[in-house]
Amino acid sequence: MTTIDIMLPYYGDVALMQAAVHSVIAQSDPDWRLLVVDDGKEPGVPEWFANLGDDRVSYQRNEKNLGVTGNYDKCLGLVGAEHFVMMGTDDIMLPNYLATVRAALAQFPGAAIVQPGVQVIDGAGRPSTTLADESKRRLYAPRFTGRKLLGGEDLALSLLRGNWLYFPSLCWRTDAVRAMGFRPGLEIIQDLALVIDLLRDGEQMIVDDTLCFQYRRHAISISSASAFSGSRFTESRRYFLDEAERLDAVGWTRAAKASRLHMSSRIHALTLVPGALRAGQRAGARTLLTYAAGPARRRQNLHG
């Protein structure tokens, strides 16, 4: 199998980004290329990459900030391999990540996505178990051992009930993602939207329970001015209701119902209400409660 491209759309903490880069360099499978696309202005970063001393690592800094989706789009345009990873800037590849993904693709070479085994860690890198992650694992994720190929409405239904994927850990088939593209106007729920679009287009996903990736989930600070505003759920509601109509249009009525209900997302919003109140964000708490109460039924023309 050919080289796998690892794209790192970077913005934020320098030390965590450097740890992510070192985790790629430590892969047991050496056949990879890493391209870091810097959407920020942190000092010393270009110099650090210039002195890294590994020809497989490339770095470039954007002339102006492109934002989350803009930088994803730029990274996607720079992919040169048959498969790629859009890695998180603060996540960690365990040394067996690429070997695990490559073995999965060798068994199911036509799959568009690989979801390998993931461990959630906290901001300090310690294994972490959150209610949200445990709920997704126990209630929504498929039960299997080893490696399995999934697809169709059953997989879409499972993900719309509760998104148990970890976007930065996924390996993608480049031509499938380029043909579909990232959904414009989305940031928070961009990953789920792309996966569901691919499934509706007939693509499939490999799931493999081999632990090989660490996904960093940071604690929400109750002092944050924006953590409990509820603004992220405005995007979520728009996506879920629009997607329900797309799914109805292709006859995936069970998945459409799950999208219209988006129950796990609403429960998540409800769990944030006490924190919003403690932070003095009463307007945010009202927004969260309104979202948690349930979607308004509507019909409208599909977009795109």
User: Domains of the chain: which residue ranges?
Assistant: 4-216, 232-293
Residue 297: which pLDDT band, with cuts at 50, 70 and 90?
low
Q: Tokens for 225?
A: 């001015």
Identify the pLDDT of residue 140.
86
Give mean pLDDT, residues 30-51.
Answer: 97
User: How far apart (Å, rounded) are the C-alpha atoms in residues 38 and 65?
Assistant: 9
- Architecture (CATH level 2) of domain 4-216: Alpha-Beta Complex (3.90)
Answer for the pair 32, 24: CB distance below 8 angstroms, yes or no. Answer: yes
Provide Rg for the chain, Cα atoms: 19
Per-residue pLDDT tens over the stretch 228-265 = 788 788 888 999 999 999 999 999 999 999 999 998 88
Which regions of the chain does DSSP assign to beta strands (E)? 4-10, 32-38, 57-61, 83-86, 92-93, 113-121, 147-151, 171-173, 204-216
Identify the pLDDT of residue 173.
98
Per-residue pLDDT tens over the stretch 13-27 = 999 999 999 999 999
Answer for the pair 162, 264: CB distance below 8 angstroms, yes or no. Answer: yes
Q: Tokens for 11?
A: 């913005």
Closest CA to 270 of 290, 296, 298: 290
User: How far apart (Å, rounded) are the C-alpha atoms in residues 302 and 196?
Assistant: 15
* Interior angle at CA 113, CA 110 and CA 118, nearest 5: 135
Which position has the token pair 């792309």?
Answer: 194
Give mean pLDDT, residues 197-226.
Answer: 84
Identify the pLDDT of residue 123.
87
Identify the pLDDT of residue 8.
97
Answer for the pair 144, 237: CB distance below 8 angstroms, yes or no. Answer: no
Identify the pLDDT of residue 235.
87
Residue 299: which pLDDT band, with cuts at 50, 70 and 90?
very low
Per-residue pLDDT tens over the stretch 163-205 = 999 999 999 999 999 999 988 888 889 999 999 999 999 999 9
Question: For residues 134 and 127, which has the higher predicted lDDT (pLDDT)?
Answer: 127
User: How far apart (Å, rounded) are the C-alpha atoms in residues 156 and 79?
Assistant: 26
Q: Tokens for 282?
A: 């009463």
β-bridge mates for residue 170, sequence order: none
Answer for the pair 142, 161: CB distance below 8 angstroms, yes or no. Answer: no
Burial (Cβ within 10 Å: 0-12, 13-18, ≥19) of residue 48: middle
Model confidence, pTM = 0.90
Q: Tokens for 213?
A: 């990736």
Share of the chain above pLDDT 70, in %: 93
Q: Name which of 39-43, 53-57, 100-104, 272-276 the model is least confident about.
A: 272-276
Amino acid at 24: V
Q: Tokens for 45?
A: 């970063």
User: How far apart (Å, rounded) are the C-alpha atoms in residues 277 and 257?
Assistant: 31
pLDDT at 303 over 60: no
Q: 296: which DSSP letter?
A: P
Q: 219: which DSSP letter?
A: P
